[in-house]
Amino acid sequence: MGIKQYVLALGLIAGNAMADPLPDGFVYLRDAAPEIAQDIRYAGPYNFTDRPVPGYQAAECVLTRQAAEALATVQTRLVAQGYGLVVWDCYRPDRAVKHFAAWARNKRAGQLKPVFYPDIAKADLHRLGYIARRSAHSRGSTVDLGLVRTGEPPITPAMDDLRACDAPYESRPRETSVDMGTNFDCFSDQSGLGARLSLEVWDKRDRLESAMNEAGFRGYSKEWWHFRLRNEPFPTRQFDFVIGPRDTGKD
């Protein structure tokens, strides 16, 4: 990241409101299920906007208690199969959703366009269902996640790795050792149910979807990583509190 981009990123972070206490009914996933790996992409610059996103003052997954407890159940099931979860986004402040909408209206393509939306015009991301004007994430029971091998740490790719997210596994930025067909937040037909993929990749997607369905989550046809808790506790409310660091109780 260049000096100018770094300064802009710092300005975004400084421009966020002070972090808010969690509302009743919300928890840090690290407290509910510390064994689940986290790589919260919108807290840093490696995402489709090229910058940290407003509302993310800490790289922490926050969810409703019900969603966090359901994910803990999924993790237990997957560990018995040699896998685990990695979460990339959880609760999303409504200001971040509005930021994405404004970003999509700006015609300038970003540095990471070749990675995240290599074959789609930025102006078409809303129409094609990749950028939402209202997001279920802001209700606190929707999560973006994938698979890792048991005990494997996730990898945030380098900003200068501009290989396409939907390229063959060995030719795209590495996130985990598990090939899911595309990377996270890959705006491509290869991310959806109609993708032409190997049986091995479909096995991994089916493994993830089955475990999530059994725990009460429902997937999204365009994004293999996106799941919403069916019986979410706040089905009509959009939250906008800022995600801040966990209070670990240590001075």
Residues in the chain: 251
Dihedral sign, CA of 154, 207, 91, 11? positive
The amino acid sitting at 19 is A
Q: What amino acid positions are annotated as catalytic residues?
A: 223
SS3 annotation, 9-22 = HHHHHHHCCCCCCC
Distance (Å, rounded) from C-alpha 163 to C-alpha 56?
Answer: 26
Q: What is the DSSP letter of 85?
A: E
CA end-to-end span of the chain, whole Å?
33
Q: Are the C-beta atoms of residues 26 and 91 closer than 8 Å to each other?
A: yes
Helix (H) or strand (E) run with residue 78 in it: helix 65-79
